Structure 1
């Protein structure tokens, strides 16, 4: 909805006049030869503004008329003329009887523009593509002698909407946050009548935020020299969806009946007009309706004309100096914490939000609707929502949720399946309801990855199998890796080779194992092997050990409470049968301690 660009003030045409000089009762003079058969002619015309009132605009016209006859024409000539723009006659005048001396005569005439004709001319100007032709057909008549003069036509154009046609990107920031990016604007006229001039204004805007930007209602006002020629509101709210591009359309209509009032102000102000186009959001408060300026959709243009002298129009855009008039809430810090509960664990976030508007501001209290979600490898730990009112200054928002043991186990399974690698994602969305608009508030998002290597301490070196102080076999090329986990347990696949260095056969009956993390026993069991190795022979062996996933949540809470640090202890032993007896052999090279550190929730 806005007048932009070229302005009404581009009308800079010299008002030419059609002159008719007539006389009566001079036939006798002609018949006696006292008057020559040549009519008087107009040599020049100059105009200037006269007295201006609400009803009419005075014009003073100085005309030089040449009487080519050798004698004067005493009081028998008359002068009349019209001023027309686009076939709309805006002024008419006549002199009555004039005496013309031989040669050059200076004649001063006074007429006026009927200000009620200005709306009709304006409509013709808009419908003609902002183009006006001023037409004049001067002629002079005296007695029965006359001579037509060439028609005087002058055409002028305006371009009032050009400064609204733009494809230059403009960022709309509130505080330090980009609220919208204006990708382009344009404006266009509809078909004008004597009463109304339709005007459509639109802006293409992009919302880069993860939440919609919503204005409850938009209003507009177009004024020319403080004469309001258009005003109104949109029907309903205007919303630009999250991460989307949309168009804000405003369909307005200028009240042409106000243009005669503007015309008077323009002439009285030395043909200078300040055109203000204001777009604003509307808020209904207990004290009435409040307007919040939206400067990215508004414009102020000053134009000057020189209509009577035919000078050029001067148009310039000026800054309005208006801002949003408010500051959005700002997130200052986020604190995270884990704690153990009877039902599992609890994760909490404390978000500190500052409302910079003071207690006397209309935004002293801001309604905030916020959501928070934390996930590990797409396993949602918790989702929470809070609706609160932000008072001026520091406000704490609490987000939290109980995390079940099953959820922790689901994460652990994903962690192992992903090669002991986890992607942490923390995301929040908040909308501040300012009354006139709902604007997103940036809650800090966090994307980070952490890794563990709980099997990394396993050694693949040779391990002697000793029975009663004698070496009977050697384990070599041993390895440990994760199998496919389930919700109940996580396999550790142990494999390698054993060489029997004696002549008697040897049987590896089973492996025993224990895994502890921060004193939480994750595994403590034995697994059957049952591989018999003949004397002086090498055989492959493999078996599965298992972590008890029911213990993972307990370990994880301790890990977080310990600053994301765990002391890991892994030990293996083998039960072998040799010479009819079973022996337990500690496998020192396969056993290890390690420190597991992560930085999942730290800064």
Structure 2
């Protein structure tokens, strides 16, 4: 754009140069001897836009010429000139009967640009790498003189798409969570013709979510000062896979036949143009086709020119919102809870989803496909899903499921194998079908850990063994640990040292144990030992007891019913043979009670 104006600004200078040559070459005046050989000089040139219409653009040039001769120069000389841009002739002009009075002369010259030539020049400019060579060819004619003057050539360059090349690093966030990250944008021209100019622009975006983002169709519109020069759609869905980076490509075509209309708007707007590349999702509704803006892929640029003064064009990007041009659904609240049922336990999650869009908007009704999963140490307790339609305002979703006794026992096995430690994981996701796009709506997850220590009271406990009021042995350095559990039972490995305090041998025949949790009997049995300890000697004993895992689900129900609280009671005894008789000895110092509390679903 600045190229055309800069060139036209040169036309007046060429005209003035033509005037000098014409005045110097007026044969009639010279032949009389009335004129000196001094040539007139151009003192100043001032260019202004003239009348601007849909068909042509007028230029008014005011020229001040000094005639140093004592007599005037009659109007017998004509000046003509052609202006071409990359071999496209955009203006032709001529003046005849130019006269100069002695001294200072002011004159006004008028010419015009044929607006129909703007598209052809534009195509040559684009195909030449946004370069234009402007050529002005003047000539003078008189009764005895006809002469072409040297052409004036100037090359100008523009960089219209520079504002579209960026590594923005901007993110599109919804409810504080990144939905898309725009890594870079770019644009390039194709091969232009007089009728159209291909424009390719793209945005490289990253989807950091665990679900894909899909647009059913993406449309675009390119306008300059509200003159639409290109519009269309991608035609096919655009999908950005989960946790991946992809490029959204748009192949636009500028209608060069609209450029003459833009040219008029540019001049009438004080040589300022707002170039707007608008990208939007296309929504087909009962009311027809609607456009939902996607500002993160759109660009706005303002450029200004100073054509007649020969100034260069300036271009600046206009900052704008880079999010979505709409509000997708958002999560209001999440509540999770255990409950007990006649058949066992149930886990439930209540999620409130809010659709902030009014009923009469394109997003007044939004489809939602949601799922939820709850796991304890990778043992899935609940996996549920739902499909619904969100109207304006809040909608409550509930995910729930009964947890079988077998599942609870599998969790317990993992809990024991993990050192009585459990990681609770709740995770979910939803896809909102907006009609024109499918976007992930992350459901808040939860990761927390709870621990128990049901064997802690046994370890490192000393216990005397008394028979008829007399100490016969001492159990010390005792400890208990879990063995490899199965869904049927949980082994408790018991070991320690027994010191015989008497001179006669003593045999530990069996080891008994009872474990209750909230009055649920998890174990009540005894296990064979059969180790004889000589008098005044110490021997190590090892044996294994078992929890009945079939009772674990009932205990877990009681644990939840009491607000994740369990009263644990563990008691031990031994059966010893001494001097030919068997005695049952309660191991009171090794027995213990404890309170076990978890906070799987309370405050963090």
Whether these two folds match at TM > 0.5 is yes
Counterpart residue number, 1:542: 542
Q: TM-score, normalised by structure 2?
A: 0.90
> 1:33-44, aligned counterparts within 5 Å?
43=42
Counterpart residue number, 1:13: 6
Rounded Cα–Cα distance in structure 2 between residues aligned with 1:229 and 1:299: 15
| Preserved CA contact (<8 Å) 1:39 1:145 | no
Question: How big is the shift at 1:471?
Answer: 2.1
Name the SS of the counterpart of 2:406 in structure 1.
helix
| Preserved CA contact (<8 Å) 1:191 1:197 | yes
Rounded Cα–Cα distance in structure 1 between residues aligned with 2:447 and 2:30: 109
| Preserved CA contact (<8 Å) 1:29 1:35 | no
Question: How big is the shift at 1:495?
Answer: 0.8
Question: How big is the shift at 1:164?
Answer: 1.6
Rounded Cα–Cα distance in structure 2 between residues aligned with 1:436 and 1:491: 58
Q: 1:375 to 1:323 in 2, by over 3 A?
A: closer
Unpaired runs of at least 5, structure 1: 1-7
Counterpart residue number, 1:580: 580
Name the SS of the counterpart of 2:416 in structure 1.
helix
Name the SS of the counterpart of 1:161 in structure 2.
helix
The answer to whether 1:51 aligns with 2:44 is no
Counterpart residue number, 2:357: 357
Rounded Cα–Cα distance in structure 2 between residues aligned with 1:383 and 1:10: 67
Q: TM-score, normalised by structure 1?
A: 0.91
Question: How big is the shift at 1:398?
Answer: 0.8
> 1:457-472, aligned counterparts within 5 Å?
457-472=457-472
Unpaired runs of at least 5, structure 2: none
Question: How big is the shift at 1:452?
Answer: 1.0
Counterpart residue number, 2:279: 279
Rounded Cα–Cα distance in structure 1 between residues aligned with 2:544 and 2:190: 81
Q: 1:100 to 1:473 in 2, by over 3 A?
A: closer
Counterpart residue number, 1:3: none
Question: How big is the shift at 1:256?
Answer: 0.6
Counterpart residue number, 1:171: 171
Rounded Cα–Cα distance in structure 2 between residues aligned with 1:156 and 1:261: 23
Question: How big is the shift at 1:168?
Answer: 2.9
Q: 1:345 to 1:27 in 2, by over 3 A?
A: closer
Rounded Cα–Cα distance in structure 2 between residues aligned with 1:89 and 1:260: 15
Rounded Cα–Cα distance in structure 2 between residues aligned with 1:36 and 1:393: 93
| Preserved CA contact (<8 Å) 1:513 1:524 | yes
Name the SS of the counterpart of 2:477 in structure 1.
strand
Rounded Cα–Cα distance in structure 2 between residues aligned with 1:326 and 1:187: 25
Question: How big is the shift at 1:400?
Answer: 1.3
Greater RCO between the two (CA within 8 Å, min separation 6)? Answer: 1
Counterpart residue number, 2:119: 119
Counterpart residue number, 1:526: 526
Name the SS of the counterpart of 2:160 in structure 1.
coil
Q: 1:32 to 1:180 in 2, by over 3 A?
A: closer
Rounded Cα–Cα distance in structure 2 between residues aligned with 1:317 and 1:599: 54
Question: How big is the shift at 1:139?
Answer: 4.3
Rounded Cα–Cα distance in structure 2 between residues aligned with 1:250 and 1:369: 29
Question: How big is the shift at 1:97?
Answer: 4.3
Q: 1:540 to 1:270 in 2, by over 3 A?
A: closer
Rounded Cα–Cα distance in structure 2 between residues aligned with 1:296 and 1:76: 65
Counterpart residue number, 1:479: 479
Q: 1:86 to 1:65 in 2, by over 3 A?
A: farther
| Preserved CA contact (<8 Å) 1:278 1:298 | yes
Cα deviation code 1:133-178 (max 9, x no counterpart): 3222444343434666554333333221122211132222334433
Q: 1:269 to 1:538 in 2, by over 3 A?
A: closer
Counterpart residue number, 1:82: 82
Q: 1:306 to 1:221 in 2, by over 3 A?
A: same
Name the SS of the counterpart of 1:589 in structure 2.
coil
Counterpart residue number, 1:393: 393
Counterpart residue number, 2:515: 515
Rounded Cα–Cα distance in structure 2 between residues aligned with 1:450 and 1:116: 79
Rounded Cα–Cα distance in structure 1 between residues aligned with 2:293 and 2:422: 47
| Preserved CA contact (<8 Å) 1:277 1:300 | yes
Question: How big is the shift at 1:68?
Answer: 8.4
Counterpart residue number, 1:447: 447
| Preserved CA contact (<8 Å) 1:505 1:578 | yes
> 1:202-351, aligned counterparts within 5 Å?
202-319=202-319, 324-341=324-341, 343-351=343-351
Rounded Cα–Cα distance in structure 1 between residues aligned with 2:326 and 2:78: 68
Cα deviation code 1:30-77 (max 9, x no counterpart): 996658897977736543322222222222334566778887665532
Name the SS of the counterpart of 1:211 in structure 2.
coil
Q: 1:580 to 1:174 in 2, by over 3 A?
A: closer
Counterpart residue number, 1:61: 61
Counterpart residue number, 2:153: 153
Name the SS of the counterpart of 2:6 in structure 1.
coil
Aligned residues: 594
Counterpart residue number, 1:566: 566
| Preserved CA contact (<8 Å) 2:171 2:178 | yes
Rounded Cα–Cα distance in structure 2 between residues aligned with 1:538 and 1:310: 109
| Preserved CA contact (<8 Å) 1:369 1:430 | yes
Q: 1:77 to 1:391 in 2, by over 3 A?
A: same
Counterpart residue number, 2:378: 378
